[in-house]
Structures are given as structure tokens and as C-alpha cells.
Structure 1
């Protein structure tokens, strides 16, 4: 994995693994599985989106697309 992937935190890598398991995963489920609060999950997802590692396809019934592996 190159560039932006290498600069991820351990938690962000865990989130990517959860997305790989279920690309329709909700923030709430990520928070429960990682035992962190929703605002922390939102911050991690925002960072992953800013780094162009993930993007949201669709709205609430959409899914997460991993752009860089």
C-alpha cells in the first residue's frame, strides 16, 4: 500500500477492514464494533474521505467505496 494508506492511524485501518467486510456499514455499527463514540467515527471517516481513500456512493441506502487499497 502506498502514500496516503501508510499515513493512516491504526483505528483508520480498522475502519477500512470493517468497510471491506461490509461496504454498507453504518457509523453507529462502526462505533459499536470498535467501542468508540459516534463523533470519533465521524472524524475518522472524514479523514479517510479527505485523503481520497474512501467515498460514499449514494445516500443513506448507499455504500462505501474504497478508492485506495
Structure 2
């Protein structure tokens, strides 16, 4: 199912050329939750963040 979620997030699965490096800070509690979600779902942390950010941008008209 990770592929379907990546597609939903507007990113191409297994296409590293479409990814760029982004460095940002997160609260430590959120980082721990993303790490646990990644382990449980089999998705990469960057895929989870990309999906969440894409949903937020869409919800807020961007």
C-alpha cells in the first residue's frame, strides 16, 4: 500500500530523481511518532512527511 499512498501524496514511488533534500526541524515528540509510523506502515519517513504536507497544502488551497 505504500505506493498508493505515495501516489496520493503526489510523489512518484521509487523515483529518487523526483526527490530533493529538505532540512527542517520538528518537535522531538513528532519525530518519534513519525519513526514509529514508518516502522509500522513500511513507508519511509520522507513518504509520510510528503503525504502529510501534500494534504495540508491541498486543504489550505496551495
TM-score class, shorter: 0.3 to 0.5
Larger radius of gyration: 2
- More helix per residue: 2
Q: Which has the higher contact order (CA 8 A, sep 6+)?
A: 2
In the superposition, the TM-score normalised over structure 2's length comes to 0.39
